[in-house]
Structure 1
Amino acid sequence: MTALSVTITHGSTRTILTLDGELDMVSSARLTDTIDAALQGGRQHLVVDVANLTFCDTSGIWALLRAERTVSAAGGTLELANVRGILKRVLDLTGAARAFRINTAGQPASP
């Protein structure tokens, strides 16, 4: 069974969505729903912290790309934080990394 939890932390200037678990075809709707809810709640500057992501398939990559487009279309910004390992490699190899602001520093995202 695919498990993905999303923890939301609201700061004064941005909202951090911390992903924990697997982002794939089954769980990507959870990310999409969370992004939509944040935007509907007036939050425009989002950080998706992927430090605890244990798996991400092509459906997960597409979900992240859709999230970036959705946030940009709403006039906001989306940053990926703590991108490393296989996710960084896949984003770099596919060219998808160019679609995001990416923090690879390995530091916890802060609001």
Structure 2
Amino acid sequence: MKPLTIIASSTPAALVLVVAGDLDHTNARQLSRAAREATLPAGRLLAVDLGRLSFCDSSGITALLAVRNHVVSAGAEVVLVAVPATMRRLLHMTGLDQVFDVRDAA
């Protein structure tokens, strides 16, 4: 099991959350909390970089949905970037690839 790390940074284009390690039932709330604590004004973009994500269970998916809901309710946008192939497959199988904006890069 790889510990979860979430690093927040800001660029002119977006606020970026880099998620690395295992996103599962033991730590999924950390992602939701990181998104809530981020200052995200209306019209701003939140890029969730999953390029270093090694594992994601259903709790992780739920956390990603909570992040999306929080961002949308703030009048901002969210995009998932650098999504690993296994995660892209999971998003496709659950239909969440139609909910999330998934890009190769921010």
Task: Decide: shared fold, TM above 0.5.
Answer: yes
Shift in Å, 1:83: 1.3
Residues 25 and 97 (structure 1), Cα distance of their counterparts in 2 relative to 1, 3 Å cut: same
User: Aligned-residue CA RMSD in angstroms?
Assistant: 1.5
* Paired residue type of 2:91: L
| Percent identity over paired residues | 31
* Offset from partner CA, 1:8-27 (integer Å, 9 cap, x none): 11112311100110111111
- Under a length normalisation based on structure 2, what TM-score does the superposition of the two structures give? 0.90
* Paired residue type of 2:51: A
What number of residue pairs does the alignment pair up?
104
* Offset from partner CA, 1:20-78 (integer Å, 9 cap, x none): 1011111111101100011xx24542000000000000110111011111100110001
Structure 2 gaps of 5+ residues are none
Match of 1:95 in 2: 95
Structure 1 gaps of 5+ residues are none
Write the mapping of 1:1-111 to structure 2, written as runs, cut at 5 A.
3-38=3-38, 41-43=39-41, 44-103=44-103, 105=104, 107=105, 109=106
Secondary structure in 2 matching 1:26: coil
* Paired residue type of 2:35: I
Shift in Å, 1:99: 1.0
- Under a length normalisation based on structure 1, what TM-score does the superposition of the two structures give? 0.86
Moved over 6 A (4+): none
Given that 1:2 and 1:26 are in contact with CA atoms closer than 8 Å, whether structure 2 keeps it comes out as no
Given that 1:2 and 1:27 are in contact with CA atoms closer than 8 Å, whether structure 2 keeps it comes out as no
